Chain A
Amino acid sequence: MKNLTFYSCLFLSLLIANPVQAEAASEIRIGSKKFTESVILSEVITQHLQNNHISATHKDQLGGTRLLWKALVQGELDIYPDYTGTIIYEILQGEEISSDADIKAALARHGVSITAPLGFNNTYALGVTPSTARKYSLEKISDLRQYPELRFGFTNEFMDREDGWPSLRNHYQLPQTAVRGLDHDLAYKGLEAGSIDLIDLYSTDAEIAYYQLSILEDDESYFPDYRAVILYRTELIDHVPEIQAYLTQFGSIISETEMIKMNSDVKLEGRSEAEVAQSFLNIKFNTLSKIEVATRLDRLIATTSEHLFLVCLSLGAAILVAIPLGIWGSRNSALGQVILSIVGIIQTIPSLALLVFMIPLLGIGGPPALVALFLYSLLPIVRNTLSGLTGLSIDVQESARALGLPASARLRLIELPLAARSILAGIKTSAVINVGTATLGALIGAGGYGQPILTGIRLDDTGLILEGAIPAAVLALLVQWSFDFAERTFLSPGLQMKQESTS
């Protein structure tokens, strides 16, 4: 039994370790955060490299700064765009930085290089609707001190960044307590609906013009510069020397107006990031990138296969590990409690946190998502195996022993078949949860149905959200039905009759 657990762990680790290494050598991997500007910039970089015959791939909308930075340092990504203010206050938090040279030196210690600024400054700003501005005659951030009742909605990253809300509050002595964290793209909706009064903005957001928002003046010069730059692994230059020249070409190439226009093209005009990047490169470098336009069906096939891969593999490994664990725990009630507590604690770790914990160990993409889903799938199966076995009637257990069956034969012939209904129910629960949780895999580049949902939320495109949400719901139902079918087919008719007569 222990051997089985060991081998299934080994099997899982081999399966998920391989693709990472295989990928590492060949392609340059460019990452982007899960907001539109980052996706556009990375698309521009990716297409520019491809136009110059360098094999490059865009791992889009992976998550926040910390995730991207970790992935870059770990070598899971080679390149991603970021902003100087973010680098100083978030990435190099706690280090003494007073000049661009200091940034360069500090990043070099992590094996990371930085390009010259791309041209535009995308600073943080606080914005309100024109009517709120009029009502409270708000012009400057310091004006907020007089209105403690105002409700703030900030991006989750802004909520706890070094240069975010906590120190902004100290700097301006702001009294507001109704402050909540939410997704940036949803924040605009909240502001429009009137459920929040003020949000943080990026100064190049297309929505500022669209919603005609009033930006509050940073009258006590709190926010630093957020000049866009490109971060890349220094060792990349050793492998692909020509890449430095191509990255240098981006110096001072994008003005603030151009960036706002590109953001607006994607978010308000509904063009794809790839198209927008293509036209930008066409103007600047007179190249024409080849972009693949995936049909809805292509995307559905791709996300379905990614999603099924995540669910089947993680669930399969969980079954192989959880059933022996449950059997083991059923033999000794103290041990059973310990096992249940451990898998229970794993279950309480927020899924996003678990995904991020996995990155130092397994990088980004499929592997960390598989391990996280595997861990989440354990509890229901372990619990149901354990309760199924310990809940067997004393008579049945006694008569199996009285017949003279050895322990292993009792388990195989009597106990497991009798606990099968409970175990199957545990696997079903795990599978349904797994189908839902796997949508979060998109945040760390594992793809699946979460990908269109994530993009749909970012672009405020309901069609795209449904493109992920409907198949996910259908898959959950199919899983449910197939387990019901399996129960009817594989469970002994004697047990099914028993349920009918007792229910």
Chain B
Amino acid sequence: MIHLKGISKSFNGNEVIHDLSLEIPQGKTVVLIGPSGCGKSTLLRLMVGLLWPEKGNISLFQEDLSKANVEKLRQQVGFVLQDGGLFPHMTAVQNMRLMADYLQHDPIKTEHRIAELCDLTHISADLLKRYPSELSGGQVQRVALMRALMLDPQILFLDEPLGALDPLNRVSLQEEMKTIFSQLGKTVVLVTHDMGEAASLADLIVIMQDGYLLQYDTLSKLSSHPADPFVTEFINAQRKPWQQLEDQIK
């Protein structure tokens, strides 16, 4: 579904992605994970042409990504930013239907699609009349997800979609997303730095460090056959506090 071959990317002469290749299969949820500054968000932006690599080749749906076809290809994928990226001058529903209206889709079908998405994300139609500034963080992310799903894209990209939420909202939306992803059967690429989130959502995990892909595998393989000591270190680092607590209780 998504192919990256020999990708290098620099900012101001500083290489942040080094000769990286990756293949994301259809229908799988792939999580890009790693510490801050490892290049995971940059990699995500390269996949939708928000950034362009100096070297290498990216293709979506077997089509090489270029400046000529980027707008067309973007219309076939969904993208959710950390803080939603909703347009503050439009209501939630205006945000959702922006692209459908721009592409002059049948308004009746659009209305129908909105109702469908409301059911999917448990958002009431009334709430959609509000402006983004009147919504809670969790509601903003739900609307952003609905906007990304509006045109029924094959691929969904999410850049730390839960990063700005409080722990309670975080867990509930994470559970909802898990259900939604499995219901829809779409290809999902999600960036996070939270191992728990990755463990819960991912079919496959990409662990990155300093612009290199360290390992690309299932969680159990990462655990049992780490390709690099850092992989084990990273997985365990987020488990530690809980283990200590459990040890104390015992």
| Contacting residues, chain A, for B89 (C-beta < 8 A) | 417-418, 420, 492, 494-495
Task: List, in ascending order, chain A residues with CB within 8 A of B70's CB.
Answer: 404
Count, A-B residue pairs, CB within 8 A: 74
In the bound complex, do residue B98 and residue A497 qualify as a contact, i.e. CB atoms below 8 Å apart?
A: no
Does B133 lie at the interface of the complex (its beta carbon under 8 Å from any beta carbon of A)?
A: yes
B87's partner among A401, A402, A414 (CB-CB below 8 A) is A414
Taking the closest CB of chain B, its distance from the CB of A425, in whole angstroms, is 16
A406 sits at the interface (CB 8 A): yes
Q: Does B11 have its Cβ within 8 Å of any Cβ on chain A? A: no
Chain A residues within an 8 Å CB radius of B50: 398, 401-402
Contact in complex: A498, B133 (CB < 8 Å): yes
Q: Which of A174-232 contact B (CB under 8 A)?
A: none
Tell yes or no: A243 within 8 A of B by CB: no
Q: Is A345 an interface residue (CB 8 A)?
A: no
Contacts of A493 in B (CB 8 A): 131
Looking at the assembled complex, report how far the CB atom of A413 sits from the nearest CB atom of chain B, in whole angstroms. 7
Return the chain B residue nearest A400 by Cβ: B87
B133 and A396 contact, CB distance less than 8 A? no
- If over half of A's interface residues share one DSSP class (helix, strand or loop), that class is named, otherwise mixed; here it is helix
B133 touches A413 (CB 8 A): no
Partner of B133, one of A404, A406, A494: A494
Q: Is B227 part of the contact surface with A, judged by Cβ < 8 Å?
A: no
A495 touches B71 (CB 8 A): no
CA distance A494 to B132 in the complex (A): 7
Known: A398-B81, A406-B71, A413-B98. A498 touches B87 (CB 8 A): no
Q: Give the Cβ gap from B106 to chain A, nearest Cβ, in Å.
A: 19
Q: Are A399 and B132 neighbours in the complex by a CB distance under 8 Å? A: no
What string of 1s and 0s marks CB contacts (under 8 Å) between B52-77 and chain A?
A: 00000000000000000011111100
Structural contact, A497 and B134, CB atoms closer than 8 A:
yes
Interface size of B as a range: 20 to 34
A501 within 8 A of B: yes
* Cβ of A238 under 8 Å from chain B: no
118-166 of chain B: CB within 8 A of chain A: 131-134, 147, 157
Question: A414 contacts which chain B residues (CB < 8 A)?
Answer: 87
Taking a contact as CB atoms under 8 Å apart, the answer to whether A404 and B88 are in contact is no
- Which residues of chain A in 384-411 are interfacial with respect to chain B, using CB atoms and an 8 Å cutoff? 395-396, 398-406, 409
State how many residues of chain A have any CB contact under 8 Å with chain B: 24
Chain A residue nearest to B71 (CB atoms) is A404
Q: B99 within 8 Å of A by Cβ?
A: yes
Kindly list chain B residues whose C-beta atoms are within 8 Å of the C-beta of A405: 71, 98-99, 102
Residue contact B102 to A418, C-beta cutoff 8 Å: no
Q: What is the minimal beta-carbon distance from A118 to any residue of chain B, in angstroms?
A: 68
A397 (CB) vs chain B CBs: closest residue: B85
Q: Are B99's CB and A395's CB within 8 A?
A: no
Beyond A398-B50, A409-B102, whether A418 also contacts B88 by CB under 8 A is yes
B88 touches A402 (CB 8 A): no
What is the distance, in angstroms, from A502's C-beta to the closest C-beta of chain B?
9
CB–CB B81/A399 < 8 A: yes
Indicate if the CB atoms of B99 and A404 lie closer than 8 Å.
Answer: yes
On chain A, the residues within 8 Å of B131 by CB distance are: 492-494, 497
Complex Cα gap A398–B49 (Å): 11
- Give residues of chain A (251-294) contacting chain B, Cβ–Cβ below 8 Å: none
Determine which residue in A403, A417, A495 has the highest number of CB atoms from chain B within 10 A of its CB, and name it: A403
Q: How far is the CA of A493 from the CA of B133 in the complex (A)?
A: 10
- Whether B88 pairs with A495 at a CB distance below 8 angstroms is yes
Chain A contacts for B90, CB-based, 8 A:
492, 494
